[in-house]
């Protein structure tokens, strides 16, 4: 589904991604683990189309088609979803309105009929129950004044509603206590499907106890330096990145 | 250039009629207004208060007093303002007020045309009219006073309450030649009394014309006054307005000035906290595009201790629009424990739009809390990317952010149909701005 080939990206002449190669098939869960500042989050943002980063070399192919030239909203409608490490607060925009606008933008681009308020409400209520999200959520401004856990659950809620093919989850466990982590992880696990690929970016192994990956990559200094099965995560936790990176 | 002399000769030509309208003391006041205006003349850019606002376009035109015009039907008013079915409505067409017959008023409340009030309840009007408006400095208020004939008088006596919002609609029906109106609003809210007042400035279309309004608001002890002014003048109109509010102890006052229309707009909003324990809220929202110029000068005077004032002005400027915000807060030496907060935030949607924002805090008491802040910028990139990453197109995302920015002010409106109407207008404004950009 996703193929990243020799991807290089920089910001103001500072090279951050230095030749990333990654292939993710539908139905798989990949974990990308690496130390702080290694460029993991940059990779996530570049995948979603953030234009603060210049892609200087390489390719990103989604379902056989390059998405490098596509705007973030076009990537979203093609099924790319980034769960943000720091979900942005947007005062004055109600969560309800935001989600409905996003869903209908995506549906429209996919040639599907747009949801009216009733259909939307029905859809959202089901998903909110699953994620143990209070209904008052919908009338609050997007992420404004949300706790760390609420923000992350809101990300997963968006993911559940937009039904993407490729989910990139950037440090979804950061700022979560163990209970919130369980809720978020079960939300993600509920979204596992043979048609969907999930890339989990994290620097702790903890999350991977709850979202069990098929493949683990070690990401150091702008590249993937090692790839293995889920046991690689445990090895990393025990030995540290320096050791594994050799 | 016609300038001051033109106003003087217009005044002289009208004087017999003016003299006949209302009691003699009113005419003395008019003469005083004319004298002051003549002495002060039109401002120049050299004056601190007018540094960024060129009034020459007003001075250059020869405005004749707007003629009497037939009544404007209710549907037109609703279409140009908001669904005010639940309000007490007073309409002024070209400056002349008419209160539809048959609107029952609560006990202790008088609402009607200022011209009528001057003859029927002259003493009540005299007690409040032009009290505290500094004609030696406020030249446009002086000019308004010179031509003072009509407007609206709202007299809510002690302990009275007006449940329905009072909606004052100023409609200009422009003529073939440039016309002017000098409407005056006088609101007196007695002790423990409550009222809410909305002023709308609209037109049936056309121009140029000149609206030179003065609103005087007085809030008695422990009274509540909610006030909102919405300016939707024609794109060729000049709109100058002076608002002067005087608040007594323990009163609660909120005012919001929304500015959407007009070629050249200047709003002076003065709020005098002349008692203890007052809670004052002074908000503004200006949306401007094309070559519109919108100047907001606010002045909050803390004259007594233990008062709270909160001021939030927000602006959205597109194309070549120019905004000016000058927010002055003055705290007297005795006004200890003052808590004053001021914020002016502005979004510039184009590279050619400009804002001059100037907070001015003059604090002479030592035990106070006063803060101010100004943020000027484009739409937040982080928020924009977040929305786009969810599939929302760039332009829709930008509009959504700007809409949300403006709604912080609109959401505070307690008059529900006005709030809903304005929400839609902000949305429509964004659509139009977008269409204009192509």
- Chain B's closest residue to A87, CA to CA, is B386
For residue A82, what is the nearest residue in chain B, using CA coordinates?
B389
Q: Which helix (H) or strand (E) holds B282?
A: strand B279-288
Verify whether the Cβ–Cβ distance B404 to A90 is below 8 Å: yes
Residues in CB range of A102: below 8 A, 6 or more apart: A76, A158, A161, A162, B387, B390, B391, B392
Interface test with B, best of A11, A41, A105 (most B CBs within 10 A): A105
If you ran DSSP here, which 8-state letter would residue B131 be given? Answer: S
The answer to whether the CB of A58 falls within 8 A of the CB of A226 is no
**B143 phi, psi to nearest 5 deg:** -65, -40
Q: What is the DSSP letter of B331?
A: E
Q: In chain B, what residues touch A88 (CB-CB under 8 Å)? A: 380, 382-383, 385-386
Separation CA B232–CA B211 (nearest Å): 12
Q: Are B38 and B8 in contact (CB under 8 A)?
A: yes
Query: Does the complex come out with an ipTM higher than 0.85?
Result: yes
Q: Do A158 and B391 touch (CB under 8 A)?
A: no
Give yes or no for a contact between A169 and A188, defined as CB atoms under 8 angstroms apart: yes
Q: What are the tens digits of pLDDT across the range B2-54?
A: 789 999 999 999 999 999 988 999 999 999 999 999 999 999 999 999 999 99
Identify the residue with better confidence: A245 or B88.
B88
Report the distance separating Cα A50 and Cα A144, nearest Å.
22
Task: Test B387 with A90 for CB contact under 8 angstroms.
Answer: yes
- Cα dist from A35 to A217, A218, A221, A232, whole Å: 12, 9, 9, 15
Q: Is residue B258 classed as helix, strand or coil in its secondary structure?
A: strand
CA A3, CA A18: separation in Å to the nearest integer? 16
Q: What are the chain B neighbours of A77 within 8 Å (beta carbons)?
A: 391
pLDDT in tens, A45-81: 999 999 999 999 999 999 999 999 999 999 999 999 9
Place of tokens 């205006």: B37
Among candidates A88, A106, A109 on the partner chain, residue whose Cβ is nearest the Cβ of B386: A88
Give CA–CA dist B80/B74, Å, rounded: 10
Q: Do B408 and A92 touch (CB under 8 A)?
A: yes
**Residues A75, A50: contact at Cβ < 8 Å?**
no
- Gap between the Cα atoms of A58 and A43, Å rounded: 13
Which residue among A71, A77, A109 places its CB closest to the CB of B394? A71
A164: which chain B residues are within 8 Å (Cβ-Cβ)? none
Domain that holds residue A223: 2-245
Whether residue A92 lies within 8 A of chain B, CB to CB, comes out as yes
**A53 phi/psi in degrees, rounded to 5:** -105, 135
| Res. A246 pLDDT band, cuts 50 70 90 | low
Res B380: pLDDT: 82
- Are A124 and A192 in contact, with CB atoms under 8 Å apart? no
**What is the distance between the alpha carbons of residues B206 and B200, in angstroms, rounded to a whole number?**
17
The answer to whether the beta carbons of residues A58 and A5 sit under 8 Å apart is: yes
Residue A92 has pLDDT above 90, yes or no: no
Percentage of the residues of chain A whose pLDDT score is greater than 90: 60
Q: If you search the block for the tokens 């609402």, which residue do you land on? A: B111
Are B388 and A90 in contact (CB < 8 Å)? no
Q: Which two tokens stand for residue A119?
A: 């259909």
Place of tokens 């939030």: B312
Q: Domain of A76: which CATH number?
A: 3.40.50.300
Judged against a pLDDT cut of 80, whether residue A245 lies above it is answered with no
d(CA B112, CA B189): 15
Where would I find the H helices in B263-415? 381-388, 394-410
SS3 category, B65: strand
pLDDT at A70: 96
- Which of A48, A53, A73, A159 best probes binding to B when mutated, by most B CB atoms within 10 angstroms? A73
Top residue of B343, B390, B405 to mutate, by most chain A CBs within 10 Å, is B390
Task: Give how many domains chain A has, as a whole number.
Answer: 1
Mean pLDDT rounded to a whole number for chain A:
90
Tokens 């409905």 sit on residue: A100
The token duo for B331 is 């705290």
CB-based contact (8 Å) between A105 and chain B?
A: yes
Instruction: Give A-chain residues touching B391 at CB under 8 angstroms.
Output: 73, 76-77, 102-103, 105-106, 109, 162
pLDDT over 90 (residue B100): no
Instruction: Name which of B63, B14, B11 is nearest B38 in CA terms.
Output: B11
CA A40 to chain B, closest CA, distance in angstroms equals 18
Q: Does A79 touch chain B (CB under 8 A)?
A: no
Tell me the pLDDT of chain B averaged across its residues.
94
A15 half-sphere exposure, CB direction, 13 A CA radius: 11
Q: Is A50 on the interface with B (CB under 8 A)?
A: yes
Name the pLDDT band for B102 (thresholds 50, 70, 90). Answer: low
Please state, in angstroms and rounded to a whole number, the distance separating the CA atoms of residues B426 and B322.
18
| Structural element, H or E, at residue B234 | none
* Chain centroid offset of residue B47 CA: 22
Of A48, A93, A98, the CB nearest to B389: A48
Q: Which residue from A81, A101, A141 is facing B392, i.e. has the nearest CB?
A: A101
What is the DSSP track for B106-124?
-TTEEEEEHHHHHHHSHHH
Distance CA B326, CA B297 (A): 5
pLDDT range class, residue B1, cuts 50, 70, 90:
low
Q: How confident is the model at residue B434 (pLDDT cuts 50, 70, 90)?
A: confident
The answer to whether the CB of B311 falls within 8 A of the CB of B273 is no
Contacts of A84 in chain B (CB under 8 A): 386, 389
> Cα dist. A228→A4, A210, A241 in Å?
17, 18, 14
B359-384: per-residue pLDDT in tens? 999 999 999 999 999 988 887 889 99
What residue in B sits closest to A108 (Cα-Cα)? B391
Give domain limits for chain B: 1-187+194-216, 379-438
- Locate the chain A residue with the closest alpha carbon to B383: A88
Going by pLDDT thresholds of 50, 70 and 90, the confidence category of residue B82 is very high
pLDDT at B101 over 90: no
Between A246 and B27, the higher pLDDT residue: B27
pLDDT in tens, A188-232: 898 999 999 999 998 888 888 899 999 999 999 999 999 999 888
Put residue B194 in one of left, alpha, beta given phi > 0 → left and psi -120 to 50 → alpha: beta
Give the whole-angstrom CA distance, residue A182 versus residue A188: 10
Which candidate from A84, A90, A109 shows the least CB-CB separation from B391? A109
- Chain A residue numbers touching B396 (CB-CB < 8 A): 101, 105
Cβ-based neighbours of B84, under 8 Å, separated by 6 or more: B77, B78, B165, B167, B198, B417, B418
Measured between alpha carbons, how far is A34 from B139 in angstroms, rounded to an integer? Answer: 69
Q: A73 vs B411: CB contact, 8 Å cut-off?
A: no
Task: Judge whether residue B99 has pLDDT over 80.
Answer: no
Structure confidence at residue A240 (pLDDT): 80
Query: pLDDT digit string (tens) for B178-193?
Result: 999 999 999 999 999 9
* A208 SS3 class: helix
The reply to whether residue B390 touches residue A98, judged by beta carbons under 8 angstroms, is yes
Cβ-based neighbours of A243, under 8 Å, separated by 6 or more: none
Q: Is residue A72 less than 8 Å (CB to CB) from chain B?
A: yes
**Cβ-contact B113, B98 below 8 angstroms:** yes
Confidence class for position B255, pLDDT limits 50, 70, 90: very high
Taking residue B373's Cβ as centre, other Cβ atoms within 10 Å add up to 10
Residue A174's pLDDT is what? 83
Which residues of chain B are at the A interface, by a Cβ-Cβ cutoff of 8 Å?
380-383, 385-394, 396-397, 400-401, 403-408, 411
pLDDT digits (tens, 9 = 90+) for B137-190: 999 999 999 999 999 999 999 999 999 999 999 999 998 899 999 999 999 999
**Percent of chain B topping pLDDT 70:** 99
> Which residues of chain B does A91 touch, with a Cβ-Cβ cutoff of 8 Å?
404, 408
């Amino acid at each position: 589904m996703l193929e990243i080939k020799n991807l290089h990206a920089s910001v103001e002449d500072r090279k951050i991604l230095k030749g990333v190669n990654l292939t993710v098939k539908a139905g798989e869960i990949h974990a990308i683990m690496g130390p702080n500042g290694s460029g993991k989050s940059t990779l996530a943002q570049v995948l979603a189309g953030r234009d603060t980063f210049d892609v200087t070399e390489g390719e990103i192919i989604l379902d056989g088609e390059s998405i490098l030239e596509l705007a973030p909203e076009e990537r979203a409608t093609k099924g790319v979803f980034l769960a943000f490490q720091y979900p942005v607060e947007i005062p004055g925009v109600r969560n309800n309105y935001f989600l409905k606008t996003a869903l209908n933008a995506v549906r429209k681009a996919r040639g599907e009929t747009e949801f009216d308020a009733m259909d939307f409400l029905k859809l959202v209520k089901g998903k909110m129950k699953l994620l143990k999200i209070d209904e008052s959520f919908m009338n609050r401004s997007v992420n404004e004044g949300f706790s760390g856990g609420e923000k992350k659950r809101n990300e997963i809620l968006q993911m559940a509603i937009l039904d993407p093919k490729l989910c990139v989850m950037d440090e979804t466990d950061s700022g979560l206590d163990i209970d919130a982590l369980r809720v978020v992880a079960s939300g993600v696990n509920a979204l596992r499907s043979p048609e969907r690929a999930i890339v989990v970016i994290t620097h702790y192994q903890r999350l991977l106890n709850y979202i069990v990956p098929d493949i683990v990559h070690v990401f150091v200094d702008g590249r993937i330096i090692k790839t293995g099965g889920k046991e690689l995560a445990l090895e990393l936790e025990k030995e540290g990145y320096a050791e594994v990176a050799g | 250039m016609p300038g001051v002399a033109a106003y003087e000769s217009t005044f002289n030509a009208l004087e017999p009629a003016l003299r006949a309208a209302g009691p003699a003391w009113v005419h003395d006041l008019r003469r005083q207004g004319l004298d002051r205006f003549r002495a002060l003349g039109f401002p120049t850019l050299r004056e601190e208060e007018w540094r960024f606002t060129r009034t020459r376009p007003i001075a250059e035109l020869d405005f004749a007093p707007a003629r009497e015009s037939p009544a404007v039907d209710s549907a037109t008013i609703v279409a140009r303002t908001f669904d005010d079915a639940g309000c007490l409505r007073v309409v002024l067409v070209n400056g002349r007020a008419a209160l539809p017959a048959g609107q029952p008023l609560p006990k202790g409340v008088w609402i009607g045309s200022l011209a009528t009030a001057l003859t029927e309840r002259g003493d009540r009007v005299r007690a409040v009219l032009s009290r505290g408006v500094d004609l030696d400095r406020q030249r446009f208020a002086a000019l308004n006073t010179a031509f003072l004939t009509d407007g609206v008088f709202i007299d809510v006596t002690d302990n009275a309450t007006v449940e329905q919002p009072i909606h004052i609609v100023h409609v200009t029906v422009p003529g073939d030649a440039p016309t002017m109106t000098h409407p005056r609003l006088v609101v007196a809210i007695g002790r423990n009394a409550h009222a809410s007042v909305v002023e709308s400035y609209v037109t049936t279309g056309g121009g140029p014309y000149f609206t030179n309004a003065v609103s005087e608001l007085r809030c008695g002890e422990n009274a509540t006054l909610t006030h909102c002014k919405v300016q939707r003048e024609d794109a060729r109109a000049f709109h100058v307005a002076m608002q002067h509010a005087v608040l007594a102890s323990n009163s609660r006052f909120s005012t919001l000035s929304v500015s959407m229309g007009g070629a050249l707009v200047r709003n002076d909003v003065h709020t005098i906290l002349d008692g203890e324990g007052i809670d004052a809220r002074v908000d503004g929202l200006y949306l401007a595009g094309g070559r519109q110029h919108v100047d907001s000068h606010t002045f909050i005077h803390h004259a007594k201790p233990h008062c709270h004032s909160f001021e939030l002005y927000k602006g959205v400027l597109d194309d070549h629009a120019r905004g000016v915000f000058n927010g002055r807060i003055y705290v007297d030496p005795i006004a200890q424990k003052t808590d004053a907060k001021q914020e002016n935030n502005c979004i510039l949607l184009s590279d050619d739009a400009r804002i001059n924002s100037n907070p001015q805090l003059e604090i002479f008491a030592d035990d106070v809390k006063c803060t101010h802040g100004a943020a000027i910028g484009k739409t937040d990139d982080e928020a924009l990317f977040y929305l786009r990453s969810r599939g929302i197109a760039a332009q829709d995302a930008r509009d959504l952010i700007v809409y949300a920015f403006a709604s912080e002010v609109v959401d505070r409106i307690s008059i529900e149909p006005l709030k809903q109407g304005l929400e839609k207008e902000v949305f429509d404004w964004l659509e139009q701005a977008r269409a204009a950009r192509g």
